[in-house]
Structure 1
Amino acid sequence: MGPSAPLVAGNARVKDARRLSRRSVRSERRLFLADGPKAVEGALEVPGRLVEVFATPAATERYDALARAAREADVAWTTVDDRALASLSDAVSPAGLVGVCHFLDVGLDEVLASAPRLLAICADVRDPGNAGTVIRCADAAGADAVVLAGSSVDAYNPKTVRASVGSLFHLPVVVEPDAAAAVRAARAAGLTVLAADGAGERDLYADAPLEGPVAWLLGNEAWGLPEDLAALADHRVAIPIHGRAESLNLSTAAALCLYETARHHRRG
């Protein structure tokens, strides 16, 4: 018997997976969609994280090694037609495969108990692309975790997952509704909390205390950090701007802060 025909958009299994595009359904079922080969590959590296992969026949052929690895891990690899795949992806040009994955966030207490050296605490970050890029930057810099605090965007928003390019599966992500509690807990655990603030009294490259364990506190894209939250940090640190730009994009500022801290840690 030959291979079965690809599932269509109206298939019950495809429709059931498509419901995960809604945050309420994701939260209820603690499952989310991971779009693209990097995300699927990242999920596959964590045992038990990947539930199923929906892929077009063309993507199955193109990512043959990934398909084999999934099957060897007893993860269902289900072929679907192009319209069905497009219904599961919010990408303009879908890569042809989408994974269904279990939630992966961990508690802040668990992260702090592991004696982290470098954290990123994102307070009220609303743009999913920025959140995903901060996770990617933190992963690249060797950070120990990212905390999405306050009213930050859903960690499992498809755009957040895609912007992390697989890094969502590489380091712990914490979801903490109380940003002030996250800052206090980080300080109590022995981390120096540094608020990224354009008007800060310390200079990132001159006198910021980066040698010990550090938690960077990063604010909202539009209005930065609320005064009461920034006041909880040990220091406010500015990134010097030498040209005429008013400020830096959140994810760019995060990358500079995290990498400069990582440089100090590795030098020490």
Structure 2
Amino acid sequence: MRKIQSRHNPLFKKLAALKSVSYARKNQLIRLEGLRQVLDALESGFIPDHIFFSDDRKGRGLFHLIGSRLGEKGIQIEDDRMILLSASLFSHASGQKSPQGVMAFLTYRPGRLSACLESLPKEASPKRLLVLEAIQDPGNLGTLIRTADAFDFDGIILTDSSASVWNSKTVAASMGSLFHLPLFEEEHDIRTTLRLLKQADFEIIASVLEGEDLREARPFHTRMALLLGNEGSGLSAGAVEESDRLIKIPMAGRAESLNVASAGAIMLWEIAGRYGAVKDFVLE
């Protein structure tokens, strides 16, 4: 493990710059903060470019703990990737009021949807995807990633107008699920993306305020993609027009709508149940 004491060090500057979402996205680097986030990445097979520890009792304790966990799993990380930062530098680079003693960053590149679809067998093998159009809040995005993971979906497609997966708030809200299932960031307009899915025999299910009652909806196809829209305006007209079916969540109360993360959880739960994918889970 090597030590950095100067704020002019290029590696320290890079870590501090990752507090900027635009910088993180441009460089396709995800910043992790805290023991859980770092271990989630490591145990999912994502090896950080560097892991940083604060030069204090907390940081040194975490260094030994993470080293022990890596040894148990047979994961080796080169010594020069393990960095000790003075407590003042660590605090400066941290995005939290009370730094947790360990940070890391790793390279994260979303997959290509076209390559994924081309790899699918011609026969209609089961496949469930979540398509998110213009989800703006990183907390909602991370929660939806976590929920899709919990209900055994096979991947998530983001339009380029959605919140960034490189945002630390997205990473935190996903609770490690960002590293558990494929994610595709599409630069195509939503119509083109949905047409690609339909060419691969996916049924497009749109979550809307007016449509089939979710409780009474007929069975979904073996391959299906659930489409959720922006928190304020919902799905675009193009997305609705390209959808095969429009499904609504029945609401007997006086609320006009649900938060997109709440609506997504209900839709994902129902779809997973119909596919027999619902298992025991823990509420936190």
Task: Tell me the TM-score range normalised by the shorter chain.
Answer: 0.7 to 0.9
Query: C-alpha distance in 2, partners of 1:32/1:24?
Result: 11
Q: Provide the aligned C-alpha RMSD in A.
A: 2.5
Q: Matched residue of 1:91: which SS? A: coil
Provide the C-alpha distance between the structure 1 equivalents of 2:175 and 2:232, rounded to a whole number of angstroms: 24
**Matched residues in 2 for 1:165 and 1:9: separation?**
30
Percent same amino acid at aligned positions? 29
Is residue 211–residue 261 contact of structure 1 (8 Å, CA) maintained in 2? no
Report if aligned partners of 1:116, 1:144 keep a CA contact under 8 Å in 2.
Answer: no
Question: Which residue of 190, 199, 204 corresponds with 1:193?
Answer: 204
Residue aligning to 2:77: 74
| Selected match of 1:90 from 95, 116, 119 | 95
5 Å-filtered alignment, 1:127-142, equals: 127-142=137-152
Q: Report the Cα offset of residue 12 of structure 1.
A: 3.9
CA distance in 1, matches of 2:6, 2:163: 31
Partner of 2:227: 217
In the other structure, the counterpart of 2:110 is 105
1:17 counterpart letter in structure 2: L
Aligned to 1:38: 36
Cα 1:116–1:131 shift into 2, 3 Å:
farther
SS at match of 1:231: helix
SS of the aligned residue for 2:209 comes to: coil
Q: Distance in 2 between matches of 1:136 and 1:197?
A: 21
Task: Tell me how far 1:171 sits from its aligned partner.
Answer: 0.6
2 CA distance for matches of 1:267 and 1:106?
Answer: 24
**Residue 23 (structure 1) shift:** 3.8
Calculate the TM-score normalised by the size of structure 2: 0.83
| C-alpha deviation, 1:38, in angstroms | 2.7
Q: Is the 8 A contact 1:218 1:224 kept in 2?
A: yes
Q: Which moved more, 1:159-168 or 1:93-102?
A: 93-102
Q: Which moved more, 1:21-30 or 1:5-14?
A: 5-14
Mean Cα displacement is larger for which, 164-173 or 175-184?
A: 175-184
Once the two structures are overlaid, the 10-residue window that deviates more, 224-233 or 68-77, is 68-77
Residue 64 of structure 2 corresponds to residue 61 of structure 1: no
TM-score normalised per structure 1: 0.88
Given that 2:53 and 2:63 are in contact with CA atoms closer than 8 Å, whether structure 1 keeps it comes out as: no
Relative to 1, partners in 2 of residues 1:230 and 1:48: Cα closer, same or farther, differing over 3 Å?
A: same
Code of the aligned partner of 1:213: R
Q: Distance in 2 between matches of 1:104 and 1:183?
A: 22
Q: 1: CA distance between counterparts of 2:60 and 2:250?
A: 48
Q: Which runs of 5+ in 1 are unaligned?
A: none
In the TM superposition, residue 243 of structure 1 has moved relative to its aligned partner by 1.4
CA distance in 2, matches of 1:208, 1:252: 22
